[in-house]
Amino acid sequence: MAVTILPLIQTQITRYGMSTLLILGNIGNIIIIVLFNRRRQNSCAMYLLCAAIVQSATLTFNSVINLYVLDYDDLTVHSLFLCKFRAYITHIWNQTGRYLTVLACIDRYIWTANNAHARLINRPSTSRYLTAILFLFWHIFSIHIAILVTIHNGRCGSFGVYYVIYQVYAATFLGLLPPVLMSIFGFLAYHNMKKLHLRVRPIGNLGYDSIIIHRRDRDLLLMVLTEVVIYVVTAIPYPFIVLEVAVTNYIGVNKSTQRVEIENFLNSTALTLFSVTYGSRFYTYFAVSKAFRKDCKTLFIKWKNHLVRPSTMNQIPRTRQLQI
């Protein structure tokens, strides 16, 4: 029996928060996919497009399972295959989405570096190649999850020594490394952009630099930097929480029911914050990028015309018949 109100709050956050995130997040990700699919020749747009696809899949898969478990039995504790499959596949999708954003930060840094040789990495063919390598890498590097995650005492997860190893691994590769890499390359890209602005001069005047900073590329940089800020803020609590829980559990600290409920609540909240980054991309892009808002407006008008045109066409013959 619960001794605090935290389990109830946790359940309500999962029920209503995940439901809202599932709907609004997928709507936003679908729009991102449609818009960036048209600009996949841009390497940064290619990374953000692929990230939206895998993170939409992750958001849908995790949200549906978490919502199902609230009212029905957890199927993963009865099937070893489902237990391993869920842990392995969601981890691959999560990590691929995170590190695609890291690649987008690196791409913007290279773009702002104004180095002709380095810009070979900005080619669309290179971005597709790196995306494939990243996806394959996480399939191989995460194989330990499919092997060592198991069912024990009616729970699906990691146990024993592997529990501590996995929590250290998760804190490092989920909670620390992505935000650190994003912050480093995001800051370097922003620093390079400021230097480029100082060097830009009117193109018509001789003797001045002829560097042209494309608005869409600038907007892509702004969108990536905003996403980095949100990811860093939402990722900060996770490594500290999981490491504290893992270490105290492994060394056998005697915990009260109240402390266990607090730890479970904090861990669930940290994971929910991670999920927010999967569904908030569209709304952050829309807020910071004028070009993105313009593209969205054009897309919405196009969709509206497609919906209105068939009904208009159906009404034309009837009108003619009345006139006759």
- What are the tokens at 28? 């936003």
- Assessment of whether the complete model's pTM goes beyond 0.75: yes
Q: What is the pLDDT of residue 184?
A: 92
Longest dimension (CA), the chain: 90
DSSP sequence for 68-94: HHHHS--GGGT-HHHHHHHHHHHHHHH
Weakly modelled stretches of the chain, pLDDT under 50: 200-213, 318-324
Long-range contacts for 138-145 (Cβ within 8 Å, ≥24 apart)? Answer: 138/91, 138/92, 138/95, 138/96, 138/99, 139/92, 142/88, 142/91, 142/92, 142/95, 143/88, 145/84, 145/87, 145/88, 145/91
- What are the tokens at 126? 């290179």
Q: What is the pLDDT of residue 102?
A: 93
Q: What is the pLDDT of residue 196?
A: 67
Please, what are the domains in the chain?
6-305 (1.20.1070.10)
- Rounded to whole angstroms, how far apart are CA atoms 221 and 41? 16
Alpha helices for 76-149 (secondary structure H):
80-113, 124-141, 143-148
Check: CB of residue 303 under 8 Å from CB of residue 31: no
Shortest CA distance to 53 belongs to which of 283, 294, 281? 281
* Cα–Cα separations (whole angstroms), residue 42 to 106, 128, 220: 14, 11, 10
